[in-house]
Chain A
Amino acid sequence: MRYLSNVTTLEFFPEKCTGCFRCIEVCPHQVFIMNGKKAAIDDRDLCMECGACMINCAFGAISVNAGVGCASAIINGMITGGEPSCDCSSGSTSSCC
């Protein structure tokens, strides 16, 4: 199954890549492959913008506008004027201090 094409904000900067393999390891949709000694984007449209590759890249070689791909979260964000946030965790915030 694939979602819309040409929408992901995923960007890869090969000059910063050290070929550590982390992005390939963490991507749940196999967007990255090894191309010689560096990683490369294999199938950009499979990206779901979870952000796992970016946060795990110690060298800043990946950028993506990570967020929840959830319609109600985005509508919530539009209503409140803030970032998209789902209500899945409401009511369970810790009370202390």
Chain B
Amino acid sequence: MEEPRVKKRVRIGDIRKQTSCCASSVEMEQEPLFYQESSCCPPKKAPETSASNFVPPIVQTVSTDWLIDDYLGQIRCRVSSYRNSYIVTPGLYAVGRPDNGSDVFASANYKLSFDILRSSLKGMNAWVIVLDTKGINVWCAAGKRTFGTDELIRRISDAHLDKVVSHKRIILPQLGAPGIAAHVVSKKTGFRVYYGPVHAKDIPAYIASGYNATKEMRTVRFTWLDRLVLTPMEMIPALKKFPVYALFVLLIFGLQPSGIFFREAAVNGWPFLLLGLLSVFSGAFLTPLSLPFVPSRAFAVKGWIVGFIFVLLAQGILRITDKSLLAFIYLFFPLLSSYIALQFTGSTAFTGMSGVKKELRYALPVYKAAAAISFLLLVISRLGQWGIL
């Protein structure tokens, strides 16, 4: 677990708030209670504190600049499962030298989300309240309701936000909205939820215009760059399964009536290893990248089209003559690309559950049947080679 880089640690109170998953103070309507250094359930209740002698919790001040570690961390998150453990401790943070009039921004405890927010607050004095989203970014966490109403209410009361600031504004990223019932937050905490822009970079403009986001700031786009940064995490999981596929291919092509021959396996199998790699590249990289230009709205069809073009081009070089193998490559590899491309629906900013379900209803039976027929074609081809058929 990595802590956000702490520029300095400002001690503005002497009670260290220790959050715990059981210390549910969500329903707090009266004066907040302190759970001092409580470990786990049941929380120990400390004496009530009145507004006059309120001592705010210790707040870490974070920089708005990224260091080399932050850049490297971002890259590692884009290409590996490192992102699953890239987290910051939930709670209240300070940017600059905020006071009781400063704005409050909410974020997720995925460090990259937090980093992007803090770097967008350059030159500002603000509070940042980090929700425990289990290390998931705002939008995905909102979909899972971990960036959610209850968690926000709990963090607001845990941080004694009503004592930290004198206003009643809390600014949330717009993409946190699927998890938050703003009217419930307002009823339970008194804080009014302001949905900020989709992108943190628009925050200065949003603040300058008196908390108004333009239509552009409110709309999610999915540019080629947005798509490009997502492709490594499409390709790497697919490539991790590649050795299993490669072993299977080499086994099939190395298999002779008299045993397994490595030379046979390599000589006859390599075109199919190449086609496999091309299909991964087609489904996980080229289809996502060329999404707006490939015909059809269905991802399964898009992936099939790009995959089919790859097989056509590859056949121009490979010149496979065996009829069964020819049928195999045109059946199997475009559908492999199609299946991989369909997985990208989980990463896009515009596909909905009902649409994906509809695609799967049609595509899954096709994939299953094609897999069975493909295997059969391979067997027929091998039997033909051995002179059995």
Contact = CB atoms under 8 A, between A and B. Distances in A.
A46 B85 CA distance: 33
Contacts of A96: 20-22, 40-41
A66 B291 CA distance: 24
B342 interface: yes
Given A4-B297, A30-B219, A74-B357, A66 B178 contact: yes
Interface residues of A, number: 47
A28 to B, nearest CB: 4
Contacts of A30: 215, 218-219
B353 A56 contact: no
A17 interface: no
A89 interface: yes
B353 A65 contact: yes
A80 interface: no
B301 to A, nearest CB: 11
A47 B220 CA distance: 12
Contact of A28 (B144, B174, B180): B174
A84 B359 CA distance: 15
Q: Is the interface of A mostly helix, strand, loop or mixed?
A: loop
B350 A3 contact: yes
Contacts of B134: 89, 92-94
A91 to B, nearest CB: 7
B135 to A, nearest CB: 5
Contacts of B181: 55-56, 58
Given A28-B198, A50-B178, A89-B136, A70 B222 contact: no
Contact of A71 (B40, B144, B219, B342): B342
Contacts of B219: 28-30
A41 interface: no
Contact of B178 (A8, A52, A78, A88): A52
Q: Which of A28, A46, A65 has the most CB of B within 10 A?
A: A28
B182 interface: yes
Contact of B360 (A26, A29, A71, A91): A71
